[in-house]
Amino acid sequence: MNDNNGLALVAPRVVPVLDPGFRPAVLANRAFREQVRSSGQTLPVRIALEQTDGSVYHFHTEIFSEAAPQSAGNYTCLERIVKFLLWSRGGWRIYFDGPPSLAAKLSAHYRDDATGRFDSDMVGARMFDHPLEVVNTKNIPSERAQAKPLGRHLDGCRIGFDLGGSDRKAAAVMDGKVVFSEETVWDPYFHPDPQYHFDGIMDSLKKAAAHLPRVDAIGGSAAGVYVNNRVKVASLFRGVPPDVFKHRVRDLFLEIRNAWNNVPFEVVNDGEVTALAGSMSLGKNAVLGIALGTSTAGGWVNGEGNITSWLNELAFVPVDYNPKAARDEWSGDYGVGSQYFSQQAVGRLMPAAGIEAPKDLPLPEKLKLVQSLMAQGDDRARKIYETIGVYLGYQIAHFADFYDLRNLLILGRVTSGKGGDLIVAGARALLKSEFPELAGKIELHVPDEKMKRHGQAIAAASLPEITGQ
């Protein structure tokens, strides 16, 4: 497959051993830009995303003029770029300074196509309280970026928690030192009654509190989007009916805070805490954290050590432009992060590697099977990790087109053991051979054992500021 609705796709020089059809987003975008610039028929396009708090984020690119024969690829290239911007930056109003025909086509996509409607509902309506709106105009508002410090408060007796799709973690932290931590298996995705979630979180918090003389503050991380401790959208509650979500889940963490005597309490996206943990541990900024777990979590700490209002929901950003690429089972879209950097990726690649497992075997158990085979030196398991390493190498270059990236922190259950070493080594080797200018600029970091055990918990616990002491 070397074409996606008029957009020329580029086969990678380094082919993932288990996925010969992989067509990296970064190669298609860069080839498209080079073709545009050499054609002499260049048309600048300006895009801006506006959030409900007034933040506006800009992105500029170039396409073929409408008269150029290659202009058939304009829409596909722009739609994938806007998809990346939506899930990395976030916003509800898309300002588009470009051809009216393309603006109309984008509007129709978010109104009529199933994958576009998913983006409009999740990013626009549920996260920013408005369905997506495309405004075709040359009068794009000025960029208004917002950033603020996150966490780094280590005083007092604190609880840190992290809610994942297959386990929940909690730790007791005293003046920055972990005195207790525990990991508990759970299965939150498809439980329709949020009491299950409430009881599980409370159980973990109580176990941590038993190891502290008092609880001064509670900080947590969880997959999803949270504003002032209210749940906007979160995969952890996918099984909860919309009316129940509205009446119980939206304020679930306020309910939990109330149960703990309204101590300072803060819950934020798990990717942001991942990036914060990396920044704190490494003593560096401009850190993009990517966690390969049940799905794909991402977080960004900018060059000043602050977080922005960006979403960084990397599970939904494009990775593979092959229209026949694996589809995300939630959004229905093709070639997005959840199918390349997660337990889902491992499960998807097992048949291609020749590893058999029952179809109903849960993804965490499939990962454990592959990890055990890798520990035994099984070449089939090795191929899975080598494939993910190639995916990651190309995607780091793609990230660099959207982030001022200097440090990448790679962690998550998929990166545990020898397989994780293969993923990182493969990504480093690919950057060095295919993108040497980036290999010298971007450092790849893997958390040491101390950070793996306690870094996320300490970072989460550090979120709330204790006042009045």
CB 276 within 8 A of CB 459: yes
- pLDDT category at 1 given cuts 50, 70, 90 is low
Q: Is the pLDDT of residue 113 over 90?
A: yes
- pLDDT category at 469 given cuts 50, 70, 90 is low
pLDDT tens digits, 24-74: 999 999 999 999 999 988 999 999 999 998 999 999 999 999 888 889 999
269-293: average pLDDT: 89
389-402: average pLDDT: 98
What homologous superfamily is domain 146-187+202-237+257-469 in, according to CATH? ATPase, nucleotide binding domain (3.30.420.40)
Phi, then psi, of 216 in degrees rounded to 5 = -90, -30
140-168: average pLDDT: 89
pLDDT value at residue 273: 87
User: Directed axis angle between helix 417-434 and helix 379-400, to 10°?
Assistant: 50
Q: Select from 313, 320, 286 the least CA-distant residue to 403.
A: 286
Average pLDDT over the chain reads 93
What CA–CA distance (Å, rounded) separates 466 from 157?
10
Q: Where exactly are the structural domains of the chain?
A: 25-144, 146-187+202-237+257-469
pLDDT value at residue 265: 96
162-183: average pLDDT: 90
- The pTM score is 0.88
What CA–CA distance (Å, rounded) separates 404 from 390?
21
CB 291 within 8 A of CB 447: no
Collect contacts of 454-457 with beta carbons under 8 A, ≥24 apart.
Answer: 454/171, 454/178, 454/181, 455/277, 455/278, 455/280, 455/281, 456/160, 456/162, 456/169, 456/221, 456/273, 456/274, 456/277, 457/160, 457/161, 457/162, 457/169, 457/170, 457/171, 457/173, 457/178, 457/181
DSSP, collapsed to helix, strand or coil, labels residue 184 as: strand
Give Cα separations from 6 to 70, 109, 206 (angstroms): 8, 17, 57
Q: Is the pLDDT of residue 96 over 70?
A: yes
The continuous run of DSSP H or E covering 106 comes out as helix 100-112
